[in-house]
Amino acid sequence: MNITIFGTGYVGLVTGACLADVGHHVMCVDVDKAKIENLKNGIIPIFEPGLEPIVQANFEAGRLKFTTDAKEGVEFGQLQFIAVGTPPDEDGSADLKYVLMVARSIGEHMNDYKVIIDKSTVPVGTGDRVKKAVQEVLQSRNSDLRFDVVSNPEFLKEGDAVGDFMKPDRIVIGADSDEPIELIREAYEPFNRSHDRIISMDIRSAELTKYAANAMLATKISFMNEVANLAERLGADIENVRRGIGSDPRIGYHFIYPGCGYGGSCFPKDVQALVMTADSVGYDSELLKAVESVNYRQKSKLFEKVSKYFDGDLKGKTFAVWGLSFKPNTDDMREASSRVLMELLWEAGAKVKAYDPEAMKETQRIYADQDSLDLCGTKEQCLRGADALLICTEWKEFRSPDFEVMKNSLTRPAVFDGRNLYDPERMARKGFDYYAMGRGLSV
Ligand code: NAD
């Protein structure tokens, strides 16, 4: 099939590459000229395991094309995926300007029947708005061309996006007629072979399903962080509690890790957007607001611990920070806990030596003017002469470091672990002051 994808970010590029990899002909459209130029030269704008080889192979095979020309994109595919960003507006609601811009350009350039597929995460009712936007443009052209609007929210996880797309848990399709569902079914057929993963429903339910999924996952994290904060005060160990509750199949082990807060481009913005959607229909979503505020507080927990340990005097001190991306296996730093931590440290007059296996370039881009940031080539280099180590992301290479080197490099053997990577008793035996989340020493 000929398929067009608007937006060549984490979702659009993965979608385009995976659809091309199973044999479809895909055209990816983006307004970012540099990004498209780089892609044409084999340069992938993001770090996502397994993505680079399939982008390159399918580009070379001629099945994956890149363009900045919306007209060319609209004319190319019968299926038109919208995978552009939906960032938070000033009030926290989702900003639909990019989605509607694409909808209007589809209306402007289409010459035959199109299925317009919202893959971006969009508030309930967006399907109607996209339909209206396309209809208005078609009317201005005096055209009665047919089109359908479908919701097909994306559930991939950054860091494992290719795997998630190739082997999805489910493919949600929201539509109000059978014809577009059948076409999308055909496009997804190669990913739907062992058993039927397609769950079809009405458009509004599909739109709400995406927000409900992210809000549920965010709720699990904030719940565990709340219990971790309690455990800390009660002398309990949250890791024992986690194992104790996870063993109940009704609860399960997934997504109940305490830490220094969730980040990324989805959970924070989607929880906020759902709160705003609830407000717009006169519903006060108390639970979702609490999920958000618990997370907000959690992101400054590491800083509070460090500040207490040094009696509030951080001026002139240097801290090693391991892990800058919002989670492992990505270079994405949107809403990352590391950013809150580093910014609080700089405000308090401290310096930061930072290391991340993949997010150094992104950190450099975001904090290009920050004099109090020293980006280090290795995690060991980062420790040298620092007053303490602070861990924000649970990258594999941080799990079993050389603790002797760590102790000898730091001016004080203090470790503040936002991801509970080490065993508190073992750390104490090795001579560390080890502070984790909901376990070990309390400051
Ligand atoms: P992103 O910021 O990485 O990419 C968005 C891309 O859209 C950018 O390259 C931008 O230049 C492009 N764009 C903007 N306006 C455009 C236009 N008019 N025409 C063509 N391209 C345009 O965003 P993302 O992380 O891929 O997220 C996209 C959507 O998918 C969001 O709604 C997000 O909430 C949702 N989503 C993201 C993830 C994730 O893990 N990142 C997972 C599921 C769903």
Q: Is the CB of 5 under 6 A from ligand 1?
A: no
pLDDT for 443: 84
The whole model's pTM is what?
0.95
Characterise 9 by phi-psi region: left (phi > 0), alpha (psi -120 to 50), beta (else).
beta
Q: Which two tokens stand for residue 28?
A: 């990816």
Q: Is the CB of 103 under 6 A from ligand 1?
A: no
CA of 186 to the centre of ligand 1 (A): 24
Residues in CB range of 44: below 8 A, 6 or more apart: 13, 38, 51, 52, 55
pLDDT for 441: 78
Ligand 1 atom with the smallest distance to the CA of 6 is 20
Q: Is the CB of 418 under 6 A from ligand 1?
A: no
The rounded distance, in Å, linking the Cα atoms of 12 and 144 is: 29
Ligand 1 atom with the smallest distance to the CA of 155 is 43
Instruction: Please give the biggest Cα pair distance in the chain.
Output: 78
Q: How far apart are the first and last CA of the chain?
A: 60
User: Buried (b) or exposed (e) across 164-182, using 16+ Cβ within 10 A?
Assistant: bbbebeebbbbbeeeebbe
Q: Is the CB of 329 under 6 A from ligand 1?
A: no
Instruction: List, run by run, the mean pLDDT of 10-residue segments along the chain (443 residues).
Output: 97 98 98 97 94 97 98 98 95 95 98 98 97 98 97 96 97 97 96 94 98 98 98 96 97 97 96 96 98 98 98 98 97 97 98 98 97 98 98 98 98 98 97 95 81
Kindly list the catalytic residues: 266
Query: What domains are there in the chain, each with its CATH number?
Result: 2-201 (3.40.50.720), 211-296 (1.10.1040.10), 299-435 (3.40.50.720)
Ligand 1 atom with the smallest distance to the CA of 99 is 18
Phi, psi of 373 (to 5 degrees): -120, 125
CA of 416 to the centre of ligand 1 (A): 34
pLDDT for 101: 98
The rounded distance, in Å, linking the Cα atoms of 10 and 84 is: 10
